Amino acid sequence: MKFVYQHLKIKADSPEKTADLLSSHTQEVERILPVGIKASGVITGQVISVKKHPNADRLNQLEVSIKEKILTILTSATVHENDKVAVATVGSSVITVNRQDINTQIDSRKMTTISRQTIRGITSEGMLCGEDELGLSESASHGVMILPPDTPLGLPLEKIFPVKQIIETDDKGTAHRSDLLSYRGIEQELAAILGQKINTEELESPKELRSPNIQASIEATDGCRLFLTALINLPSNKFSPKWLTEFLTDNQIKTINLATDITNYVMLTEGYPTHAFDASTITGNKVSVRYAAENETVQTLNHREYKLKKTDLVIADSEKPLDLAGIIGGEKTAISDQTKQILLTCALFDPIHIRRTSQSFGIRTEASARFERGLSTAAAINGFNKALRLILDLSDGQLIDLRITGDDKQDRVNIKTKTAEIRSLLGKNIDDQKIVTILKNLNFDIEIADGNLNIICPWWRQDVRDWQDIAEEVARIYGYEEIPRTLPSLLYDQTKEWSLKQDFQIVRKTAAEFLYEVQTSSMVSLGNKDAIRLANPIGDKKFMRQNLTDGLIQLTIKKYREGFNDFGCFEVGHIYVKDQPLKFAAALVAKQAQAKNLLGIIFHRLGLDYRLITFQTNDQTKTVINYKKTAVGEFKATWQAPIWIFSWELDMQLLNDQQKQNGRFKAYSRLPKIKRDLAIVLDKNIDYGTVVKMIEKQSSLISKISLFDEIDNYNGQNNFRSLAFHLEFSDEKRTLQNEEINVIIQNIEENLKNKLKAVIR
Amino acid sequence: MINQDQFDNLLVEAENEINNGADAAVLYHKYLGRNGKFSTMIKQITTLKTDERKVVGEKAKIIKNRLNYLLQIKTSSNQPSIDLTLPADLTAHGHQHPIETSIARLYQISERLGFVAAQSPEIENEDNNFEFLQIAKDHPARDMQDTFWTVDGRVLRTHTTAFQQNLIKNNHPPFAFVQGGKIYRCEAEDATHLSEFHQFDGFAVAKNLTFADLRGVLFQLIQDFFLRPVELRFRPSFFPFVEPGAEIDMKCFSCTGRGCRSCGYKGWLELLGCGITDQEIIASAGLDPKEYHGLAFGLGVERFAMLYYGVEDIREFTRNDPRFLEQLV
Ligand SMILES: [Zn+2]
């Protein structure tokens, strides 16, 4: 909310200091804005005569007194004799507005110096200003500004419109406190911060005065708890006094008429929205708070018509809705200059109802913002009392009828706590006296005995409900920065550590030696029937991803096309299938061997090795990455002419489980090994994995198989390739004999010949 | 009988062969190998008398050194040429992502402070994400959190704070957990907003934890993250699940508080929200809130990373451009 520093009754010496105090103790101040006149050298004057320019139809020629002399001024505006005006004399600076710049579509402003101008033989010695030219208004000109009749002549305009400072608070962080949307709330805070106490009077419900002229009722009882109405005769056309118009203008609210100005004033100062209707527009001498009928309509002050639903609250007469309750007044029931009788209303609406309606129509108003935060019965009574008294005082009006409909019982929260509990929560030894003073200055009623506090909360503090809230009040006003910094011993049971985190970091660090770590979106545009769907997606990203690789492959293709020829990336992230597992996936433009080297390095760092095994699923061949007998991921090659993109996706949990089993030392054989070579030629569609699996099966004495040569199209045979292996045989307990190895080799060769149609070289 | 001349002759013979271009490895084998000519001759030395053995032995040593030398030269002149400036086959040119690096650093720092890493799912039930944390339906606080919903009525968590319910119900205090991870908000992306980003949350419950402890822990965490002395300001703020609630501002590095573009002319940078856990959350686990107190904080990892690395557009983190990633360690 915006508070004009000059209108705060309690404050620090400067706007800056005041803003600092509020930021440190109550709510953050966004900024301080100066408001007031921006033009310079403009003085007050009075129109003495008005006549048409002899040679220019559309111009008026005026004589304007600025006290020490009389100036001739040409203007196209309509003014009358004796009007008091703001005169920009020769040499003064005003703001000119170029409305709606064609290119930028926004108004541009600049300072212009006024000079003598001769038009068709007559010289103009100045200019009459509008609010926009003075810098008092941001919006387009409402024509020449007419000053009040009692304005003295020759006075610099800065004297009438002194520069003021607006302190703008950030309300987002205090959504629980409706009192901070009022001058009284902010003044109360500043008083407590500055160590002062504001005396408050006891709050009493107004006295009822029943007449046959009007009836009031609440039909929507769960949407409205209390409905206060006052029927008032306005005997004469009274205007708002200067202090009121000035207050509203400074607060950037348009003055309209006395009753409306007062309700706006009460909303700003007391924080409670009240509303006054023109009583002559009410049909049937009857008002009620009710739910709208489906498709009922109401025209509102923003010149719009809303089609209502059954859940929207309205204040209605016997025929029609008069307004959109708690949000915006009705256009047809608004007070005009002709209004002779008004109905002042003040209702306590349910915040949730107001919020729903305000959201569904997309209108947030000063009133709805306050109701949404939750207001109290007491706040309603206070707001109504203040508005009623001001209207009666300032208009000499006559109260015809006053009704209290609903429940006007004020509940003030009672909290019992101990000062020791407050100290133990804050970790600072604030003495009893200090705690009591802080709470008293915030207008909590307090009794203290032996450190036991019996507290009654002030009626405007709906948010304070328990001892912890009281501790917060003490901490805030005492000052968060006055509380020391201590380091607790948090070294508790460390056994529950998230087990994947360690592997996560090893994998990241290793992969990042060769690949870029990236972050891709969890939301994707394609998903199968099991994919989790979003109810409110942005654009076409309707699904939660079911793998990481697809996104990484897409990214790799994109980066390749952008000119990163050897781009490779990886991500450690969740996929959204059952249990939302953590995966480690990579995609890279590289030679196959390079991709494998990398995969090998990563497994090596984890203390594991891997094997690739191909198998046939329903419609495709899949290559899985196996560790021992467990498939821990998938390896894939994607052809995107002219490159292959290699990718893999590993399950971090499975890797971790394997690694845990792997942590123990296993005895190795110190006895000599026997090495043999084996070279075969076979159909190239039979993969390496299949051959190795077949060799392995022949003997448990094989301790290592390594490929040392691969020749495609062996000897010019198109569909054949040659594979050459080193085989290593060993046993922990005995020295192997050449003869037994010969037998094994023979078996291997037989098997390869028979089952894979291999030729031994 | 073996004598000095025989050794001299052996050298002459070998020199000839070396000069005639015989293979160095073959010659090495022939002369200096285990059964080579030199070895055969030296074995005969044992048959000589002591004084002769000494003289011939001296000679043999000289000849052996000479042979070794010549064969070494021969070997090195036969070596094929090599280009040591050729590029590697597997180039180290990747890089860690600054957000993951920041999360890893935050884990490290908070582990030193005594926190333990925990993890909760990104697709959460409504209760964990909202109700348990006292963010009821229609609560104005939900305004700040435009939420992604799944068709089956779950939410993409809007904060990592969603882990609190499971932690407090499954662990008996004292405990202290942290979690870093992805969160989601359904809003349009611009230079300061992403719809998918990261948060790092802390939650500790123990007897007699205090607001002063909260201040101490966060001061340490922030200072260790930014690796320089920081000036902090704790000021009141409201979050439904803490009381007292605070927001922490850090004095702007660029202008040291005078106000500049990077701090929006405020002199202070908003860092994170924190507070003492609300008593209803403590009580929900059957604990006495006057005895057990909780600390909680949640910070935006992107925000921290932007300040730490000096990144102005948050979207850089999702563009995954090598030229961006490479710069940030
Ligand atoms: Zn700055």
pLDDT, greater one: B137 or B302? B302
Rounded average pLDDT over A681-687: 87
What CATH code would you report for A215-406? Answer: 3.50.40.10
Is A535–B138 a contact, with Cβ atoms under 8 angstroms apart? no
Calculate how close chain B gets to A537, using CA atoms only, in Å. Answer: 7
Max mean pLDDT among A36-50, A641-655, B86-100, B274-288 falls in B274-288
Q: Identical fold at A40-161 and A674-760?
A: no
Distance CA A392, CA A277 (A): 15
CA A30 to chain centre: 15
pLDDT in tens, A295-317: 999 999 989 999 999 999 999 99
Is B238–A177 a contact, with Cβ atoms under 8 angstroms apart? yes
Q: Give the Å distances, CA to CA, from B56 to B3, B45, B48.
A: 6, 8, 9
Structure confidence at residue B27 (pLDDT): 84
Rounded average pLDDT over B172-184: 94
Q: For chain A, give every domain's residue range.
A: 2-36+165-193, 40-161, 215-406, 414-482, 501-657, 674-760
Which amino acid is located at B243 in the chain?
A: E
Structure tokens at B199: 């948060």
Q: Give the fold, CATH level 3, of A501-657.
A: BirA Bifunctional Protein; domain 2 (3.30.930)
Q: Where are the alpha helices (DSSP H) in A61-182?
A: 131-134, 157-160
Most A-contacting residue of B96, B156, B272 (CB-CB within 10 A), to test interface: B96
Distance CA A86, CA A154 (A): 10
pLDDT in tens, A131-159: 888 877 766 556 788 888 888 999 998 88
Rounded average pLDDT over A500-506: 81
Write the residue in A425, A498, A535 that is nearest to B210 by C-beta. A425
Among the listed residues A389, A404, A364, the one whose alpha carbon sits nearest the alpha carbon of residue A266: A389
Rounded average pLDDT over A464-491: 94
Query: Would the pLDDT of A714 be above 90?
Result: no
Q: What is the DSSP string of B225-253?
A: HHTS---EEEEE---TTEEEEEEEEEE-T
Report chain B's terminal Cα–Cα distance, integer Å. Answer: 76
Most A-contacting residue of B128, B150, B220 (CB-CB within 10 A), to test interface: B150
Is B244–A25 a contact, with Cβ atoms under 8 angstroms apart? no
Structure confidence at residue A97 (pLDDT): 63
Confidence band of A101 (pLDDT split at 50, 70, 90): very low
Query: What are the φ/ψ torsions at residue A103 (nearest 5 degrees)?
Result: -75, -45
Distance CA B281, CA B264 (A): 36
pLDDT in tens, A404-433: 999 999 888 999 999 999 999 999 999 999
Distance CA A29, CA B233 (A): 14
Angle between helices B4-19 and B24-32 in degrees, nearest 10: 170
Structure tokens at A238: 């009274």
Residue with tokens 């050897």: A566
CB pairs under 8 A between A and B: 247
Question: Cβ contacts (< 8 Å) between A469 and chain B: which residues?
Answer: 243
Query: Would the pLDDT of A717 be above 90?
Result: no
Calculate how close chain B gets to A492, using CA atoms only, in Å. Answer: 6
Distance CA A405, CA A348 (A): 11
Burial class of B12 by CB neighbour count within 10 A (0 to 12, 13 to 18, 19+): exposed
Strand ranges (E), A562-642: 568-574, 582-589, 611-616, 621-627, 630-640
Buried b (16+ CB within 10 A) or exposed e, A551-577: bbbebbbebbeeebeebbbbbbbbbbe
CA A337 to chain centre: 42
Portion 135-194 of B in contact with A at CB < 8 A: 138-141, 143-144, 148-152, 156, 171, 174-176, 182, 184, 186, 188
Q: A379: helix, coil or strand?
A: helix
Structure confidence at residue B280 (pLDDT): 94
- Which of 3.60.10.10, 3.20.20.70, 3.30.56.10, 1.10.10.10 would CATH assign to domain A414-482? 3.30.56.10
Structure confidence at residue B143 (pLDDT): 58
Rounded average pLDDT over B85-102: 83
Is A475–B211 a contact, with Cβ atoms under 8 angstroms apart? yes
Angle between helices A419-426 and B211-226 in degrees, nearest 10: 10
Q: A146: helix, coil or strand?
A: strand
Spatial strand order in the sheet of A341-349: A275-278, A341-349, A224-233, A398-406
Confidence band of A496 (pLDDT split at 50, 70, 90): low
Distance CA B59, CA B7 (A): 7
Write the residue in A175, A498, A532 that is nearest to B119 by C-beta. A498
Most B-contacting residue of A311, A480, A558 (CB-CB within 10 A), to test interface: A480
Buried b (16+ CB within 10 A) or exposed e, A34-51: ebbbbbbbbbbbbbeebe
SS (H, E, C) A75-105: ECCCCCCCCEEEEEEEEEEEEEEECCCCCCC
Distance CA A176, CA B171 (A): 31
Calculate how close chain A gets to B97, using CA atoms only, in Å. Answer: 5
How many A from CA of B271 to the centre of ligand 1? Answer: 14
Name every residue whose Cβ is closer than 8 Å to that of residue A579 and which is 6 or more positions away in sequence.
none
Question: Cβ contacts (< 8 Å) between A534 and chain B: which residues?
Answer: 148-151, 156
How many A from CA of B311 to the centre of ligand 1? Answer: 15
How many A from CA of B251 to the centre of ligand 1? Answer: 8
Query: Would the pLDDT of A109 be above 70?
Result: no
Residue B91 contacts A, CB cutoff 8 Å: yes
pLDDT above 90 as % of chain A:
59
A485 → chain B, closest CA residue: B216
Residue B235 contacts A, CB cutoff 8 Å: yes
pLDDT in tens, A437-475: 999 999 999 999 999 999 999 999 989 999 999 999 999
Write the residue in A421, A481, A492 that is nearest to B175 by C-beta. A492
Query: Would the pLDDT of A745 be above 50?
Result: yes
Q: Give the fold, CATH level 3, of A674-760.
A: Alpha-Beta Plaits (3.30.70)
pLDDT in tens, A7-51: 999 999 999 999 999 999 999 999 898 877 888 889 999 999 999
A28 neighbors A173 (Cβ within 8 angstroms): yes
Most B-contacting residue of A30, A375, A425 (CB-CB within 10 A), to test interface: A425
Residue with tokens 């926009």: A132
Write the residue in A173, A505, A535 that is nearest to B150 by C-beta. A535
Question: Cβ contacts (< 8 Å) between B141 and chain A: which residues?
Answer: 175
How many A from CA of B232 to the centre of ligand 1? Answer: 14
How many A from CA of A512 to the centre of ligand 1? Answer: 34
Buried b (16+ CB within 10 A) or exposed e, B164-197: bbbbbeebebbbbbbbbbbbbbbeeeeeeebbbb
Structure confidence at residue A108 (pLDDT): 57
Among the listed residues A348, A359, A283, the one whose alpha carbon sits nearest the alpha carbon of residue A319: A283
Q: Which CATH class is domain A2-36+165-193?
A: alpha beta
Distance CA A729, CA A675 (A): 6
Q: Give the fold, CATH level 3, of B98-328.
A: BirA Bifunctional Protein; domain 2 (3.30.930)
Most A-contacting residue of B151, B243, B251, B317 (CB-CB within 10 A), to test interface: B243
Distance CA B252, CA A3 (A): 26
Calculate how close chain B gets to A648, using CA atoms only, in Å. Answer: 17
Q: Give the fold, CATH level 3, of A40-161.
A: OB fold (Dihydrolipoamide Acetyltransferase, E2P) (2.40.50)
How many A from CA of A3 to the centre of ligand 1? Answer: 25
How many A from CA of A445 to the centre of ligand 1? Answer: 43
Calculate how close chain B gets to A303, using CA atoms only, in Å. Answer: 27
Portion 95-134 of B in contact with A at CB < 8 A: 95-97, 99-100, 104, 107, 113-119, 121-123
Q: Average pLDDT of chain A?
A: 89
Prior bond of B174 cis (ω within 30°)? yes
Calculate how close chain A gets to B309, using CA atoms only, in Å. Answer: 17
Question: Cβ contacts (< 8 Å) between A509 and chain B: which residues?
Answer: 96
Structure tokens at A693: 């699996």
Query: Would the pLDDT of A105 be above 70?
Result: no
Structure tokens at A368: 């709805």
Long-range contacts of B222-228 (CB under 8 A, 24+ apart): B222/B248, B222/B250, B222/B271, B224/B109, B224/B112, B225/B102, B225/B105, B225/B106, B225/B109, B225/B304, B225/B308, B226/B250, B226/B307, B226/B308, B228/B253
Rounded average pLDDT over A614-633: 81
CA-atom Rg of chain B in angstroms: 38
